[in-house]
Amino acid sequence: MASKHGVHAGFLSALTLLFTFLILHSENGWAQPGASSAFILEVRGAIGPGVSDFVRRGLEKADREKAEIVILKLDTPGGLDMAMREIVKDVLASPVPVVSYVAPEGARAASAGTYILYASHVAAMAPATNLGAATPVTIAGMPDMEGKGEQQDDGTGGEKNLQGSQNAMKNKMVNDAEAYIVSLAEKHGRNREWAAKAVREAVSLGSAEALRLGVVDFVADNIDDLLAQIDGKEVILATGSRQLDTSDLRLVHMEKDWRTRLLMVIGDPNIAYMLMLLGMYGLFFELANPGSVLPGVLGGTALLLALYAFQMLPVNYAGLALIVLGLSFMVAEAFTPSFGVLGLGGLAAFVFGSIILMDEKSLQISLVLIGSTGLFSFVCILWILGALLSIRRKRVITGEEQMLDSIGVAMDDFTEDGRVWILGESWQANSTAPLKKGEKVKVLRQDGLCLSVTPLQEVE
């Protein structure tokens, strides 16, 4: 009996310890390890949907674990305006202070990175880094139309109106981007004049000059130096002011999980484009060969991934429609022979649609990829046309036409009427000469169910 009581007591003690451990490590328990931690999120490379999702979930996790600050370690050439604005909104709404830190040495926060830096509660740079060049890429890639709108054309007014429209669009986008970054500068008390120049003139700035002009708050050699400098700084959050306590913080590096990595991969327009082609060709093959299963499964999965990627990217739906129409025409060429009309027309629609598929110049589909897929499709069309022409030149080999000149053997000895074995079938036949069993014969003509044959030696 004592042993049983001992077992029960040990079991209850174990449960008590486990329960205590869970309480101490719960989000609302007495011990909160996140309360003295700094979350570090590395933003490296182009900013796209995958990066914005990574930053949003990182900020949410930091809030759940009561982190003191979140450090965005930036090294980016820029990226999508849509993704950048999502990150900016998440940073501004974050209840956890966000420190943007351009690092390591040699890194940059160009274009979209500059906006994120301006939106952060604390902006810092490592030595030998730079930021700026914040002009929208779609505008930076346009030809300079300054002054050309006043030139006279041939009297129709077409050229003048087109140039005026382009200038109006350019001014509209630049003004919008300038107002956006200036509002971010005013919110955190940073240099608004230089921010406007970064948009209008695409200027860049090194770390030392950025600190002198009040574009950033600190220049720090490393994370430890950054934490030491910002200790005690007061920041304004959406929930009110807060004084930072960054002494003895535990650094937590947030790694990208499979979801973020998948979004970053399929967020590449070239990958999304290839997934779309793989998906469409897989489904077409499955429809042409019902029961294959594998092409249909792979094609459906690839197409869904491509459509998910396209809803995150600035897709021109006219370009997407042209690609679908072009692929449909090229596939139809194989089933409805038009001797090149459908195939070549579909190829032209496919190429033009691929070129205009993305609205932003920084995210254009690779011309090498478009050329390669177009060339492959052209070779396929030529092969189909060659196969059709070769079929057209062949004589008909079904019915009576197939039977003429066919070679068979006599099944028995006979002089006039007997039976012969031809094309795997037994036929009634009459011969112009006596035949022996097993002797080869050639069909001269067919009269209903009776063949006229002659010994093969006579023909030769």
Residue 360: per-residue pLDDT: 67
Q: Is residue 404 within a helix (H) or strand (E), and if so which, with residue range?
A: none
Residue 330 contacts residue 342 (beta carbons within 8 Å): yes
Return the amino acid letter for 399: G
Which of 5-9, 100-104, 308-312, 434-438 tops mean pLDDT?
100-104
Q: What is the signed CA dihedral for 119, 123, 128, 134, rounded to 10 degrees?
A: 20
**Residue with token string 């197939």:** 402
Structure tokens at 59: 């900020």
CATH 2.60.40.60, applies to 399-459:
no
pLDDT for 357 equals: 84
| Average pLDDT for 393-415 | 73
The fold adopted by the segment(s) 29-259 is 2-enoyl-CoA Hydratase; Chain A, domain 1 (3.90.226)
Q: What is the pLDDT of residue 5?
A: 45
Amino acid at 80: L
- Contact yes or no for 431/441 (Cβ under 8 A): yes
Give the mean model confidence (pLDDT) for residues 98-114. Answer: 94
Give residue 292's pLDDT.
75
Q: Which residues contact 353 (CB under 8 A, 6 or more apart)?
A: 318, 319, 320, 321, 322, 323, 324, 325, 326
Per the prediction, the chain carries an average pLDDT of 80
Tokens for 29, please give them: 């328990």
Residue among 457, 326, 453, 448 nearest 399 (CA): 448
pLDDT at 439 > cutoff 50: yes
- For the sheet with 218-219, list strands across it: 218-219, 122-125, 98-102, 69-75, 37-44, 250-253
For residue 83, with 0-12 CB atoms within 10 Å meaning exposed, 13-18 middle and 19 or more buried, which class applies? buried
Higher pLDDT pick, 120 / 134: 120
223: tokens are 């994370």
Domain ranges within the chain, ordered by starting residue: 29-259, 265-393, 399-459
Q: Which residue has the higher pLDDT, 452 or 7?
A: 452
Lowest mean pLDDT among 65-79, 99-113, 381-395: 381-395
The whole-number pLDDT of residue 54 equals: 92
* Helix, coil or strand: residue 239: coil
Tell me the pLDDT tens digit for each residue of 254-287.
888 787 778 778 878 888 888 888 888 888 777 7
- Is pLDDT at 2 greater than 60 in this prediction? no
**Beta-ladder partners of 440:** 409
Beta bridge partners of 250: 37
Greater model confidence, 294 or 18 = 294
Pairing of strands 417-422, 425-431: antiparallel
Give the pLDDT confidence score for residue 338 in this predicted structure: 67
Torsion sign over Cα 380, 358, 360, 207: negative
Decide if pLDDT at 209 tops 90. Answer: yes
CA angle 290, 295, 297 (to 5 degrees): 100
pLDDT digit string (tens) for 159-191? 555 455 667 777 888 888 999 999 999 999 999
What is the pLDDT, as a whole number, of residue 285? 78
Question: Does residue 127 have a cis bond before it (omega within 30 degrees)?
Answer: no
Q: How do residues 69-88 score in pLDDT, each as one tens digit?
A: 999 999 998 888 888 999 99
Q: Given pLDDT bands bounded at 50, 70 and 90, which one contains residue 150?
A: very low
pLDDT tens digits, 333-381: 767 766 677 878 888 888 888 888 876 666 678 888 888 888 888 887 7
Greater confidence, 371 or 7? 371
Question: pLDDT value at position 159?
Answer: 55
pLDDT confidence band for 137 (50 / 70 / 90): low
Question: Could you tell me which residues come within 8 angstroms of residue 90 by beta carbon, excluding any fewer than 6 positions away?
Answer: 52, 55, 56, 59
Let me know: does 454 contact 442? Beta carbons within 8 Å: yes
Token pair recorded at residue 182: 């200036």
Tokens of 241: 């002011």
- What is the pLDDT at residue 291? 75
Residue 149 pLDDT > 60: no
Question: Is residue 313 within 8 Å of 275, Cβ to Cβ?
Answer: no
